[in-house]
């Protein structure tokens, strides 16, 4: 076990941070954040958008504009979020959706309440543990990714409608109107949209119903600069607008989904659709250097492990160690490995399995794990197994963030899993079905598409929700909404969100810098640190000398984020990793 190191905060100081009122402690023991002033300082490389009354940050400028207009017209953050959610289903069909599911965190400062809406897809009632295995008992990824059985029962329509009903001021018809108009009249295709179609064309051209949407009548793909209209999707949204959210689950749309399933041997039935309900859950709560961190609870692993990693990292003076220095990346990577090892063993849908959440998120367990970290040497993943949190028990996705000046903040991540999900459009309904069933462990111990290992806790069971990594997160400071963040990126979601939090709290970055800064990722298996462009060769050499394998990868995540300054100014950071990203303040 390593001894005390100058970069380690003594354990009692770390504990003090979590127990004592923060304002004074922060000024003496941890770096002084500079973000309170930095949003308006000249001389920085990155500048956030500013707003006096609110902020929206989404992955598509049309959705951001629509959400901005809702706020400008007197709607609240939830109205704007639901409207943006439906708009993204039209403008960004690779991940925005009504055929998938997700999680929405809502913080209401006035009632001091943070709730999580779980609208994750569910396995159909006829699903069974070995449904994606061949006769030899081997997992067959083709089955869990590209067939009608790859789809869980979609939750997005019910989830967004529930959020609006509970916290919104608009009717569902009003929230759907901009999406219906966009689907009906169309919009001009941006380059990113056209590139996405081209990259996925092998999959998209496989199904007649999908070709009808994404290919022109002459058989060629839509191109940048052309107008893209979706009449079937417009009609589906119009039906939901007229008849309410249950139309999707019990009306003509449900019948179209059921017909699609029956025509292609899918397991999902009318009863599965009629039985779908979203759930309100308590988010996972932790603290980091005195800030309150709220993030998504199971069936997402996001909240559990962002809190677990922050707890481990709280014991180091990350600010003094420096942003993306070899030392900082080393301890981040070691914390990430240990969290992902636990993820593989313990995480699943808490409606079906017991997850030792209190243990995983406890400061004491983090201290035990931190003590295993050698500050000078990488621990090979083969030497890391899931720990034992039980004694500590006390009893292409898209993300958007929206906040308003009534004290509401919304952090929403939703998905159809891969870019374009299963690649299967429901014939006549105009939307893509998810392939979220691949997020279950097709066979415990076999990695999913993101290389994530799942255990027994995440085995397929009827009506169970598959484990997710989505990490919609809201950080509060002294009871006020402070940071609203989250990201797409499969297994990289949790670590991307972690780094936005650390960039703001440890490194004092303004929100645009925090979002733009180069990222790293380690998920235990494979045993490597993935880095984005922007980490120096010297740093890589130092990491390799410590025993790490480092691999440079394409950009990770797209963390559309908002930071609210002490004076109430809203600052927005659009992630440059998506060319259509947009933050707009008002
Ligand atoms: N489908 C990716 C996730 O939910 O984590």
Nearest alpha carbon to residue 447 among 148, 147, 139, 123: 139
Asked whether residue 322 falls in the same domain as residue 419, the answer is no
pLDDT of residue 23: 29
In a domain, 240, yes or no: yes
Residues 6+ apart with CB under 8 A from 51: 569, 570, 571, 572, 584, 585, 586
Rounded-to-integer distance, Cα 351 and Cα 17, Å:
33
Rounded-to-integer distance, Cα 280 and Cα 278, Å:
7
Mutation probe of ligand 1 site: the residue of 121, 145, 469 with most atoms within 8 A of C-beta? 469
Structural tokens at position 515: 């979002």
In a domain, 448, yes or no: no
Total domains in the chain come to: 2
State the distance from the centre of ligand 1 to the C-alpha of 492, rounded, in angstroms: 10
The pLDDT of residue 29 is above 90: no
Instruction: State the catalytic residues.
Output: 397
Lowest average pLDDT, out of 139-143, 272-276, 329-333, goes to 139-143
Residues 6+ apart with CB under 8 A from 183: 90, 229, 230, 231, 233, 234, 237, 430
The pLDDT of residue 18 is above 90: no
State the distance from the centre of ligand 1 to the C-alpha of 578, rounded, in angstroms: 18
Asked whether residue 220 falls in the same domain as residue 363, the answer is no
Asked whether residue 427 falls in the same domain as residue 390, the answer is no
Q: Which atom of ligand 1 is nearest to the CA of 438?
A: 1
The residues facing 292 across adjacent strands are: 287, 476
Asked whether residue 219 falls in the same domain as residue 130, the answer is yes
In a domain, 455, yes or no: no
State the distance from the centre of ligand 1 to the C-alpha of 16, rounded, in angstroms: 35
Contact 135, 74 (CB under 8 A): no
The pLDDT of residue 336 is above 80: yes
Q: Which atom of ligand 1 is nearest to the CA of 302?
A: 5
The pLDDT of residue 221 is above 70: yes
Asked whether residue 292 falls in the same domain as residue 264, the answer is no
Per-residue confidence band for 27, with pLDDT thresholds at 50, 70 and 90: very low
pLDDT of residue 68: 98
Nearest alpha carbon to residue 86 among 485, 412, 423, 575: 412
Nearest alpha carbon to residue 132 among 466, 547, 373, 414: 466
Q: Which atom of ligand 1 is nearest to the CA of 469?
A: 5
State the distance from the centre of ligand 1 to the C-alpha of 491, rounded, in angstroms: 7
Q: What share of the chain is helix, strand, coil (3-state, %, to 5)?
A: 40, 20, 45
Mutation probe of ligand 1 site: the residue of 301, 302, 348, 450 with most atoms within 8 A of C-beta? 450
Asked whether residue 99 falls in the same domain as residue 51, the answer is no
The pLDDT of residue 394 is above 80: no
The CATH number given to whatever domain includes residue 487 is 3.60.20.40
Contact 152, 123 (CB under 8 A): yes
Atom 3 of ligand 1, residue of closest alpha carbon: 468
pLDDT of residue 393: 60
In a domain, 45, yes or no: yes
Q: Which atom of ligand 1 is nearest to the CA of 470?
A: 5
Q: Which atom of ligand 1 is nearest to the CA of 120?
A: 4
Q: Which atom of ligand 1 is nearest to the CA of 301?
A: 5
Rounded-to-integer distance, Cα 514 and Cα 24, Å:
25
Rounded-to-integer distance, Cα 17 and Cα 215, Å:
57
Lowest average pLDDT, out of 119-123, 168-172, 221-225, 384-388, goes to 384-388
In a domain, 453, yes or no: no
State the distance from the centre of ligand 1 to the C-alpha of 334, rounded, in angstroms: 23
Residue with tokens 């608009």: 170
State the distance from the centre of ligand 1 to the C-alpha of 437, rounded, in angstroms: 10
- Alpha-carbon 559 to chain mean position: 9
Query: What domain range is 417 assigned to?
Result: 75-85+95-280+411-438
The pLDDT of residue 453 is above 90: no
The pLDDT of residue 28 is above 70: no
In a domain, 63, yes or no: no
Atom 4 of ligand 1, residue of closest alpha carbon: 468
- How large is the average pLDDT for residues 505-527? 97
Q: Is 413 exposed, middle or buried (0-12, 13-18, 19+ CB in 10 A)?
A: buried
Residues 6+ apart with CB under 8 A from 405: 52, 53, 54, 568, 570
Structural tokens at position 413: 């991540």
Asked whether residue 521 falls in the same domain as residue 555, the answer is yes
The pLDDT of residue 14 is above 80: no
Nearest alpha carbon to residue 212 among 427, 517, 479: 427
Total-model pTM: 0.94
Lowest average pLDDT, out of 187-191, 413-417, 442-446, goes to 442-446
Give the pLDDT confidence of 342-356 residue by residue, as tens digits.
Answer: 999 999 999 999 999
Atom 1 of ligand 1, residue of closest alpha carbon: 417
State the distance from the centre of ligand 1 to the C-alpha of 397, rounded, in angstroms: 7
Asked whether residue 357 falls in the same domain as residue 494, the answer is yes
State the distance from the centre of ligand 1 to the C-alpha of 342, rounded, in angstroms: 17
Q: How far is CA 372 from CA 321, 338, 358, 360, 384, in A?
A: 19, 10, 20, 16, 10
Mutation probe of ligand 1 site: the residue of 437, 493, 521 with most atoms within 8 A of C-beta? 493
> DSSP readout, 399-430?
EEEEEETTSEEEEEEEE-SSTTTTS-BPTTT-
Q: Which atom of ligand 1 is nearest to the CA of 439?
A: 1
Give the pLDDT confidence of 244-302 residue by residue, as tens digits.
Answer: 999 999 999 999 999 999 999 999 999 999 999 999 999 999 999 999 999 999 999 99
**What's the mean pLDDT when you consider all of the chain?**
93
Asked whether residue 155 falls in the same domain as residue 184, the answer is yes
What percent of the chain has pLDDT above 90?
A: 88
In a domain, 5, yes or no: no
Nearest alpha carbon to residue 343 among 401, 304, 285: 304
pLDDT of residue 5: 75
- Pocket of ligand 1 from Cβ distances under 6 Å: 397, 415, 417, 436, 439, 468-470, 490
The pLDDT of residue 164 is above 50: yes
In a domain, 403, yes or no: no
State the distance from the centre of ligand 1 to the C-alpha of 34, rounded, in angstroms: 33
Contact 393, 359 (CB under 8 A): yes
Asked whether residue 137 falls in the same domain as residue 212, the answer is yes
Q: Which atom of ligand 1 is nearest to the CA of 450?
A: 2
State the distance from the centre of ligand 1 to the C-alpha of 100, rounded, in angstroms: 11
Residues 6+ apart with CB under 8 A from 444: 454, 455, 456, 458, 459
Asked whether residue 215 falls in the same domain as residue 276, the answer is yes
Asked whether residue 54 falls in the same domain as residue 112, the answer is no
The pLDDT of residue 34 is above 90: no
């Amino acid at each position: 076990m390593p001894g005390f190191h100058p970069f380690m905060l003594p354990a009692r100081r770390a504990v003090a941070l979590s127990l004592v009122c923060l304002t004074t402690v922060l000024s003496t023991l941890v770096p002084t954040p500079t973000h309170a002033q930095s949003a308006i300082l000249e001389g920085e490389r990155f500048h956030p958008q500013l707003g006096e009354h609110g902020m929206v940050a989404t992955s598509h400028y049309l959705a951001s504009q629509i959400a901005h207009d809702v706020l400008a017209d007197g709607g609240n953050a939830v109205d704007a979020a639901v409207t943006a959610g439906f708009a993204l289903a039209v403008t960004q069909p690779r991940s925005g959706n009504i055929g998938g599911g997700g999680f929405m965190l809502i913080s209401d400062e006035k009632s001091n309440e943070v709730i999580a809406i779980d609208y994750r897809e569910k396995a159909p009632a006829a699903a069974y543990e070995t449904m994606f295995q061949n006769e030899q008992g081997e997992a067959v990824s083709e089955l869990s990714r590209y067939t009608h059985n790859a789809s869980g029962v979609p939750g997005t329509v019910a989830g967004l409608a529930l959020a609006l009903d509970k916290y919104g001021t608009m009717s569902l018809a009003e929230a759907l109107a901009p999406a219906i108009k966009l689907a009906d009249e169309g919009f001009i295709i941006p380059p990113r949209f056209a590139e996405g179609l081209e990259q996925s064309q092998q999959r998209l051209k496989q199904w007649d119903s999908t070709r009808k949407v994404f290919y022109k009548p002459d058989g060629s793909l839509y191109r940048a600069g052309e107008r893209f209209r979706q009449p079937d999707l417009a009609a589906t949204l119009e039906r939901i607008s007229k008849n309410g959210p249950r139309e999707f689950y019990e009306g003509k749309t449900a019948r179209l989904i059921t017909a699609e399933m029956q025509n292609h041997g899918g397991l999902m039935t009318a009863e599965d659709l009629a039985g779908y309900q979203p759930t309100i859950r308590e988010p996972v709560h932790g603290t980091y250097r005195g800030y309150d961190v709220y993030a998504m609870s199971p069936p997402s692993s996001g909240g559990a492990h962002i809190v677990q990693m922050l707890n481990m990292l709280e014991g180091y003076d990350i600010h003094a160690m420096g942003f993306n220095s070899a030392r900082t990346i080393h301890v981040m990577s070691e914390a990430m490995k240990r969290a992902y090892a636990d993820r593989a063993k313990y995480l699943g849908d808490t409606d079906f399995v017991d997850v030792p959440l209190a243990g995983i998120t406890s400061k004491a367990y983090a201290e035990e794990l931190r003590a295993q970290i050698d500050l000078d040497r990488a621990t090979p993943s083969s030497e890391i197994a899931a720990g034992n949190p039980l004694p500590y028990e006390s009893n292409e996705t898209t993300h958007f963030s929206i906040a308003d000046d009534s004290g509401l903040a919304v952090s929403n991540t939703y998905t159809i899993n891969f870019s374009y999900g299963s690649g299967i459009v429901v014939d006549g309904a105009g939307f893509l079905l998810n392939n979220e069933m691949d997020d279950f462990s097709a066979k415990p111990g076999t990695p999913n598409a993101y290389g994530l290992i799942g255990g027994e806790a995440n085995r397929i069971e009827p009506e169970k929700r598959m484990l997710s990594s989505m990490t919609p997160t809201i950080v509060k400071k002294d009871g006020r909404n402070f940071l609203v963040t989250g990201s797409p990126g499969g297994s990289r979601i949790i670590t991307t969100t972690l780094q936005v939090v650390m960039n703001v709290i440890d490194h004092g970055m303004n929100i645009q810098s925090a979002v733009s800064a180069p990222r790293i990722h380690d998920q235990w298996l494979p045993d490597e640190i993935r880095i984005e462009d922007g980490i120096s060769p010297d740093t890589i050499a130092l990491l390799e000398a410590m025993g790490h394998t480092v691999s440079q990868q394409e950009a990770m995540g797209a963390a559309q984020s908002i930071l609210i300054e002490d004076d109430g100014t809203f600052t927005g950071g659009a992630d440059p990793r998506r060319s259509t990203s947009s933050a707009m303040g008002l």
